[in-house]
Structure 1
Amino acid sequence: MANENLPFHPSPSIPALNLPTGACDAHCHVFGPAADFPFAPQRTYTPVDAPWSTLVDLHEKLGLDRTVLVQASCHGTDNAAMLDAIARSNGTCRGVGMVARDVSDAELQRLHDGGVRGIRFNFVTHLGQDADTDAVRELAARIAPLGWHAVVHFEADRLEVLAPLLKTLPVPLVIDHMGRPDASRGVDQAPFKMLLDLMEDDRFWVKVSGAERITKSGPPYADAVPFARTLVTRFEDRVLWGTDWPHPNIKKNMPDDGALVDLLTQIAPTEELLKKLLVTNPSRLYWPETI
């Protein structure tokens, strides 16, 4: 399969915003390198190599101390690249994996021992076939005893159908990228209102990442800010943020990760909100033993 993804930004800026100690990038990826960690044959896209060493250098430049790696569909259910990165991190990295419906208890325990604290389900057309709803129910029940959560990635127009299923699951639910609303339609659009209603249930969390994905105006993503700020100010104890590096499936205007960090001055406009978003909340979900 041809490599159709853009390379990540070659020289991201140093942000003006000084992040609090312990700040976490709660949504990013490692891809390959393919020579060591091959991509899944059934993948719908081929990313550029984006190894752990490059991510470490980026985080040092941005002022980020901790990392949550999210398994992406291009690696399928082979979590090896992610587990290798976590093992190299000296405890500063956790993971969200992807598993098959018939995953063994022994494999789930191996993932837990390797630093995984949740699994991801995709309901996004360009990433291939939707997660099977019966498998979602079964897997959620199986990961509950481990204290894990489920991460759900969906297109905004899917939420109306998905919400009843999500409300039945016996684990915390983390919603990716603000539920991917169309930023040009404003915060009063129906899918975003549905997301706000869902967030009234304290089992739900949301990532205020993906400004570059929901924008219609492009950089500096001003049209995405009201969505993120609404979520941060209304649900300050259940919001997370991440760069989404290396930004798979972005077709133009590859984000400057330093600029994404500086956008936080508008998304979380007080020191208290910023600390909850970047330090306190990810600690509760991924490093509860440190609290």
Structure 2
Amino acid sequence: MPRPRRQQISVTDTPYYHIVSRCVRRTFLCGQDHATGKSFEHRRQWIEDRIRLLASLFAVDIAAYAVMSNHYHVVVKLDPVQVEHWSDDEVLRRWGCLFKGPLLVQRYRAADPQESYELAQVKEFAQCYRQRLADLSWFMKCLNEPIARQANQEDGCTGHFWEARFKSQALRTEAALLSCMAYVDLNPVRAGMAATPEASAHTSIRERITPRFNLAQAVREQMQMDALLRFDGNVKPLLHFESAWVQEEQTGIPFAFEDYLALVDYTGRAIDPKKKGAIANALPPILQRLGLNPEQWLVQSTQFGASYRQQRRRSAA
């Protein structure tokens, strides 16, 4: 019998978790229906956009993701301390991007006059939402339920779209985090859906290499510019593999992105007999394929968030 989720998630042990969620009808719900020839590939973009939106609202950072034809992977970092710094108004604003909330909360956000007992109730709602915005199960609920409703509406049917529970795996060491992120980013290559990581659609590694920004969607969904957790190679050296997480100030992924790209490229060239694809050994290294020398890449990777702002200005022009 599966353990309760609260027994599987412990931020004191590790803030990083690998999440997997699968469709109930695995052959075509997010991909190509080989029986009818109908394509449902556009649903992969639904999931990717929803991940970005929720990452901008929850105290949950996205380290890696890959949206496949019948399932998706997400590597998350939980940061429950973050919500303690949000004001009640900020909590209500974030929650209001997802749900209308009770009438009392709607009136408060509209700046309508309220009695003291009503304000006390609003404060209780804010405290409840504060806890939810730091909760992985609520993050997944807000991710999976809207996608299921949208897909069922498109199909003209009812019933389950996702399997009953998402699967979570604690990543307790730096080696576990690094190997899991590489596994997730290489999923399309291993499945034979792409030849290289930078050509893999709907993955975090492609998002980091070639950030995409949709101004109309960002305004509509109130998305923030920084969609992914940044790499912070200055905090810990990449070679410090087997130690458990230590309690110190750490906001980003404790590796250099250039090292991570090289590791993904190296791992992707190894042939796995259980998988369909691998990166061809004849291809040059990934930085060379991207046309960047290490100095250029260092500038681009450290200014990852600024690239969104630049795209936003160009889109608004």
Answer with 1 or 2: which has the greater Rg: 2
Taking structure 1 as the reference length, the TM-score comes to 0.27
By percentage of residues, which structure has more strand? 1
| TM-score of the superposed pair, with normalisation by structure 2 | 0.26
More helix by share: 2
